[in-house]
Structure 1
Amino acid sequence: MARAIATILLMAIVLVAAMQAVSSVDITDTDLASEKSLWALYDRWCEHHSVARGLGEKARRFSVFKENARMVHKFNHGGAPYKLSLNLFGDMTDEEVDDGYGRCSSPLPNSAKQSQDRVTHGVLAARDNYPIYVDWRMTGYDQRPSAVTNVKMQRGCGACWAFAATAAVEGINSIRTRKLVSLSAQQLIDCDKESGGCKGGNPVLAFKYMIDHGGISTEADYPYFADDHGYCLVPKRKDPIVTIDGFKEVPPKDEVALLQAVAAQPVVVGIDTKTFRRYGGGVFVGPCGTNQTHSMTVVGYGTTDETDPIDYWIIKNSWGPKWGEDGYIRMARGVNGGTEGLCGILMGGASYPVKN
């Protein structure tokens, strides 16, 4: 009985946490009524996101901003189960968002695929027994701390692959050691020479780097710079340094396998982000492509509590806490027959670190 009550409470907490969306700049019909009111809306947006623009730049950006505002407002009155937002990309074009934030995950080179068996401890065998709800952001479950650190911001550096990889390692390290430690994405950017730093990389290569080089530094010891230093600055060995023993792949086009993996720990996935740049909350249901140019970390899954429930993934991004639902997106699962998955999440490349 006590176990059942605890399970119900856990489910309730997960649902509340999942529905919590970040505060954003709301849009009303009045805001769109005139150039003057649109300028006032733009000023509010700049203040909310701490954006400073010169006069010339601001005038140019305003034309982009007002088109985005109109598009967001129109979409949000269309009855979709998710909302768009004037988020941090409010005065940026889609191409600018993709160039600065979205195109940051590269396929594995052939050389890495050939040597992969040496560092891979097999693949996950899918099973049918997995929990109904999982949220690794929670504390206290199974007498452990959270397995997810704060949402980070890659800014203009194309390092989503490094943030996704460190988030997965932070997760398994917390699960195994009961200590949540924020790890250095910057070390991967500077020191993983098989990846391309701010020009993009691959989380599997990041795992391989950590295995080959005895672990990774904490973020405190090797802080984020949002650019390539041009050389590796690994400090002299300090404790704690976090190590992993290997990594595993999730079989492609197998939703049950991904569910089973996420039930055990946070998992890195490749996703097509083009259609949710301006996501603001709710369960994203598409439409979406399958071009996996962005790496993110799945930290849980669940089902909405409504008349027509929607199954979803809980995914951590690296676009800061003012994007989406406090930096996360809930994305529909059980889509496309469980083979491709929404936005290509099941197309391959999902992986997670092993720590004994």
Structure 2
Amino acid sequence: MKLSYIVLSFIFLFQASQGFDFDEKELETEESVWKLYERWRGHHSVSRASHEALKRFNVFRHNVLHVHKTNKKNKPYKLKINRFADITHHEFRNSYAGSNVKHHRMLRGPKRGSGGFMYENVTIVPSSVDWREKGAVTKVKNQQDCGSCWAFSTVAAVEGINKIRTNKLVSLSEQELVDCDTEENQGCAGGLMEPAFEFIKNKGGIKPEETYPYEFNDVELCRAKYVDGDIVTIDGHEHVPENDEEALLKAVAHQPVSVAIDAGSSDFQLYSEYNIKAT
């Protein structure tokens, strides 16, 4: 099985968080914003120590105002006060967008892959494809406070192509990559999908999540040989040609692809949905 993927900038993969709406009147006074903060904490089951609560409230207030002001503009997306609403953008980037793609790309040098692009000569693609409906995508996963999104991005693509080729959807082990793929990748300190694909190929496959579950941190001990479970293998990977939307269209019409995106803005931290009403 060969994989196609495209790298844009920073890798970011986390569990989608549902925020909730609020009324403009809730922003009128300090007391009403505090009540909104308490409602938010209850909604997301967020506990804060008493000495920390005021600082977190100040961050929350700043983020809520940003959400409110941004949503009043004619932007093609909407923000919400999701589960990241009382952390600073610096904290968000360090905890959830820490794959350091540029750093790892410089260390690795030019991109390497199997060569070519298998869908180059495709001339007809469907108007839409939903790989969830085709059963090629597992449930949304949460990397937690660990810069392991490179591993999640890798695994998602392997899960998808494995389903397409074998008709079996198997949730695979991100933790195996975090623990074992350490020659170039650095666990929670970040990494790239490219060497992770090579690791899976060269090691003869990857174990299922069920037998090698995610532990939200660097365990620093590769336990792959000690756990059971059938492995899923790949025979290579390819790069989707850069800056080529037609090539990307062809790729995603045939399989889920591994993608890295730039998570470097406050709007991404508080992103909720695409706003189809925007013009």
What TM-score, normalized by structure 1, do the two folds share?
0.68
Q: CA deviation at 1:159?
A: 0.6
Q: CA deviation at 1:81?
A: 2.6
For 2:109 and 2:176, locate their aligned partners in 1 and report how far apart those are by CA, in whole Å: 20
For 1:48 and 1:90, locate their aligned partners in 2 and report how far apart those are by CA, in whole Å: 12
Q: CA deviation at 1:34?
A: 1.2
In the alignment, is the contact (CA less than 8 A) between 1:126 and 1:256 conserved in 2? no
Q: How far does the alpha carbon of each residue in 1:157-195 deviate from its partner, in whole angstroms, 9 at most, with x for none?
A: 001100000000000011111111111101000100120
Structure with the larger strand share: 1
Which of 80, 87, 97 does residue 82 from structure 2 map onto?
87
For 1:23 and 1:94, locate their aligned partners in 2 and report how far apart those are by CA, in whole Å: 18
Which of 281, 294, 300 does residue 273 from structure 2 map onto?
281
For 2:81 and 2:129, locate their aligned partners in 1 and report how far apart those are by CA, in whole Å: 29
Q: CA deviation at 1:237?
A: 6.1
In the alignment, is the contact (CA less than 8 A) between 1:112 and 1:205 conserved in 2? no
Q: How far does the alpha carbon of each residue in 1:28-48 deviate from its partner, in whole angstroms, 9 at most, with x for none?
A: 112111111111111111111
For 1:156 and 1:44, locate their aligned partners in 2 and report how far apart those are by CA, in whole Å: 23
Which of 45, 48, 56 does residue 43 from structure 2 map onto?
48
Residue type at the aligned position of 1:157:
C
2:6 aligned residue: none
For 2:259 and 2:141, locate their aligned partners in 1 and report how far apart those are by CA, in whole Å: 17
Residue type at the aligned position of 1:50:
S
Q: How far does the alpha carbon of each residue in 1:284-326 deviate from its partner, in whole angstroms, 9 at most, with x for none?
A: xxxxxxxxxxxxxxxxxxxx6x896xxxxxxxxxxxxxxxxxx
The correspondence of residues 309-328 of structure 1 with structure 2, limited to 5 A, is none
Q: CA deviation at 1:235?
A: 4.1
Q: How far does the alpha carbon of each residue in 1:90-127 deviate from its partner, in whole angstroms, 9 at most, with x for none?
A: 0011111111111314244665758x45xx15334264
2:222 aligned residue: 232
Residue type at the aligned position of 2:43:
H
1:122 aligned residue: 116
For 2:243 and 2:185, locate their aligned partners in 1 and report how far apart those are by CA, in whole Å: 26
1:242 aligned residue: 232
In the alignment, is the contact (CA less than 8 A) between 1:105 and 1:160 conserved in 2? no
1:297 aligned residue: none
1:219 aligned residue: 209
In the alignment, is the contact (CA less than 8 A) between 2:17 and 2:83 conserved in 1? no
Residue segments in structure 2 that go unaligned for 5+ positions in a row: 1-15
Which of 77, 83, 97 does residue 72 from structure 2 map onto?
77
Secondary structure of the residue that 2:116 maps to in structure 1? strand
In the alignment, is the contact (CA less than 8 A) between 2:17 and 2:82 conserved in 1? no
User: Which fold has the larger relative contact order, with Cα–Cα distance below 8 Å and residues 6 or more apart in sequence?
Assistant: 2
Q: CA deviation at 1:214?
A: 0.9
Q: How far does the alpha carbon of each residue in 1:197-232 deviate from its partner, in whole angstroms, 9 at most, with x for none?
A: 100000011100100111001111111111101121
Going from structure 1 to structure 2, the CA distance change for 1:252 and 1:196 (only over 3 Å counts) comes to: same
In the alignment, is the contact (CA less than 8 A) between 2:84 and 2:92 conserved in 1? yes
For 1:269 and 1:258, locate their aligned partners in 2 and report how far apart those are by CA, in whole Å: 11
The correspondence of residues 153-302 of structure 1 with structure 2, limited to 5 A, is 153-193=142-182, 194-236=184-226, 238-275=228-265, 276-283=268-275
Going from structure 1 to structure 2, the CA distance change for 1:134 and 1:105 (only over 3 Å counts) comes to: farther
Secondary structure of the residue that 2:33 maps to in structure 1? helix
In the alignment, is the contact (CA less than 8 A) between 2:148 and 2:191 conserved in 1? yes
In the alignment, is the contact (CA less than 8 A) between 1:136 and 1:147 conserved in 2? yes
Q: After the TM superposition, list the runs of 4 or more consecutive aligned residues in structure 1 that deviate by more than 6 angstroms.
A: none
After TM superposition, the structure 1 stretch with the greater mean CA deviation from structure 2, 89-98 or 27-36, is 27-36
What TM-score, normalized by structure 2, do the two folds share?
0.86
Going from structure 1 to structure 2, the CA distance change for 1:58 and 1:198 (only over 3 Å counts) comes to: same
Give the number of aligned pairs.
258
1:59 and 2:59 are equivalent in the alignment: no
Residue segments in structure 1 that go unaligned for 5+ positions in a row: 1-20, 140-145, 284-303, 309-356
For 2:203 and 2:192, locate their aligned partners in 1 and report how far apart those are by CA, in whole Å: 17
Residue type at the aligned position of 1:152:
K
